[in-house]
Amino acid sequence: MGEFDTVDVIRAKRDGGELSDEQIAWMVSSYTGGRVAEEQMSALLMAIFLQGMTDREIERWTDAMIDSGERMSLAFDKPTTDKHSTGGVGDKITLPLAPLVAACGAIVPQLSGRGLGHTGGTLDKLESIPGWQASISSAAYRAQLEDVGAVICAAGDNLAPADKKLYALRDVTGTVDSIPLIASSIMSKKIAEGADALTLDVKVGSGAFMTDLPSARRLAETMVRLGSAHGVHTAALLTDMDSPLGRSAGNALEVTESVDVLAGGGPADVVELTLTLARQMLIAVGIDTDPADVLSGGKAMDTWKAMIRAQGGDPDARLPVARHTREILAPADGVLTRLDAYAVGIAAWRLGAGRARKEDPVSATAGVTWACGVGESVRAGTPLLRLHGDDETKFDRALEALEGAYEVGSAPSTRHGRSRVIDTIDAGRVA
């Protein structure tokens, strides 16, 4: 790899130029190795944010981040299939989905993350289970996949370390919301993970990072293109996140809801999206099993319990419950016509369910629950939303976030009963 002048590379992208493969590889490698200064990479990230990248540049940038660490080998007798969500409010789908797909006969290596801002993190949710550990050794990771079929855990330090360093820099330089940088960040880790197939859940709406459909579609298409170019069978679902998913946003609250789904209950939208994603993951690796039958038969619950036990958790333990609650009552008889996902997410975050910085702690008990989904009937004076938390001083600011976040009307909502899935994008549509 040749040497380049860092300022020349920054200028080239600043002026709308296309970086060469060699320039990209050198910049990412040099920054990861400490030879390019933070302020210089910050300038390049802002130039990318403003000028964008071509498909070739995005692919090479992703390659460079993968090359900064190890690419895992997942050679098993069964096919491996993974899922990634871009994040939303009440998005607990990974929890029931991973054991369900494993119970259908696939291997599910689910490397997950923590929440930041108004979207919850899968690891934060699972850590509300007594004893459960997010970090496991490579040997334990492989053994659990062999024995149980599913792992949900933190990624190791050797998986795309360039991304970890770049994401922290993007977070403090206002360059997070860039489709090339989001796509390469997600896909570098997922490709390095080594699964045969990947299904992406790209959220769109007020509670998602992509608030408009054209942007969400561009992100989905970019990631599907990246996965396919790296030999990973990749497809993406565009799913609605204008209203929060399920009936809860929080950590222990969402685990409880996920267990309800595995037990054959749970909110209809969570069940629908879980089964839709499961079918896509299974189709991608050629498994002809109906996950609905497996879910109703109880095998997915057995796999969930085995997965939690394997990581030190007690799946039968009582989950922590908030010391205090506060209710918001329905203002009138009618139909819930709107419940804003972003506002609910901010309220849960202010109660302590989320974090503003990666090093902040989160509360296992904090969060928000709601009695009904959009399109369902409500009665005046009955609880519409319930706030949960251990610190009563946080309730007022959470209530402020929910002002104007919901509407009760007399006409049925067109949202009621509609699928969360907006569209499916596979490699054939982005070729």
Q: Where are the domains of the chain?
A: 6-52, 81-155+192-316+420-430, 324-409
Identify the CA nearest to 189 among candidates 225, 221, 157. 157
> How many Cβ atoms from other residues are within 10 Å of residue 335's Cβ?
18
CA distances from 85 to 15, 91, 203, 294, 401 (A): 34, 8, 7, 23, 25
15 flagged as catalytic: no
Q: Which helix (H) or strand (E) holds 327?
A: strand 324-329
Q: Do 81-155+192-316+420-430 and 324-409 fold alike per CATH? A: no
Give residue 151's Cα distance to chain centre: 16
pLDDT computed for residue 431 by the predictor: 67
User: Which CATH number is 81-155+192-316+420-430 given?
Assistant: 3.40.1030.10
Residues of the chain with pLDDT under 50: none
pLDDT computed for residue 117 by the predictor: 65
| 194: its two tokens | 């080594």
pLDDT computed for residue 99 by the predictor: 98
CATH 1.20.970.10 fits 6-52, yes or no: yes
Q: One of 170, 203, 305, 394 is an active-site residue; which one? A: 170
Q: One of 30, 68, 178, 185 is an active-site residue; which one? A: 185
User: Which CATH number is 324-409 given?
Assistant: 3.90.1170.30
413 Cβ contact partners less than 8 Å away, ≥ 6 residues apart: 335, 336, 337, 338, 374, 375
Q: What percent of the chain has pLDDT over 70?
A: 96
pLDDT for 176-231, tens place per residue? Answer: 889 999 999 999 999 999 999 999 999 999 999 899 999 999 999 999 999 999 99
Identify the CA nearest to 247 among candidates 344, 138, 118. 344
Q: One of 13, 60, 83, 84 is an active-site residue; which one? A: 84
pLDDT for 266-299, tens place per residue? Answer: 999 999 999 999 999 999 999 999 999 999 999 9
Measured between alpha carbons, how far apart are the two ends of the chain, in Å?
A: 30
Backbone angles phi, psi at 203, to 5 degrees: -80, 145
Q: One of 60, 83, 165, 189 is an active-site residue; which one? A: 189
pLDDT computed for residue 358 by the predictor: 66
Which residue, chain included where needed, has tokens 């804003």?
Answer: 340
293 flagged as catalytic: no
228 flagged as catalytic: no
Q: One of 63, 91, 124, 163 is an active-site residue; which one? A: 163
Q: How far apart, in whole angstroms, are the C-alpha atoms of residue 176 and residue 173?
A: 8
333 Cβ contact partners less than 8 Å away, ≥ 6 residues apart: 378, 379, 380, 408
8 flagged as catalytic: no
Q: 58 with 18: CB under 8 angstroms?
A: no
Q: Is 48 helix (H, G, I), strand (E, B) or coil?
A: helix
| 199: its two tokens | 């299904």
Alpha helices in 194-267 (DSSP H): 213-229, 252-262
> How many Cβ atoms from other residues are within 10 Å of residue 321's Cβ?
13
pLDDT computed for residue 59 by the predictor: 96
pLDDT computed for residue 297 by the predictor: 96
125 flagged as catalytic: no
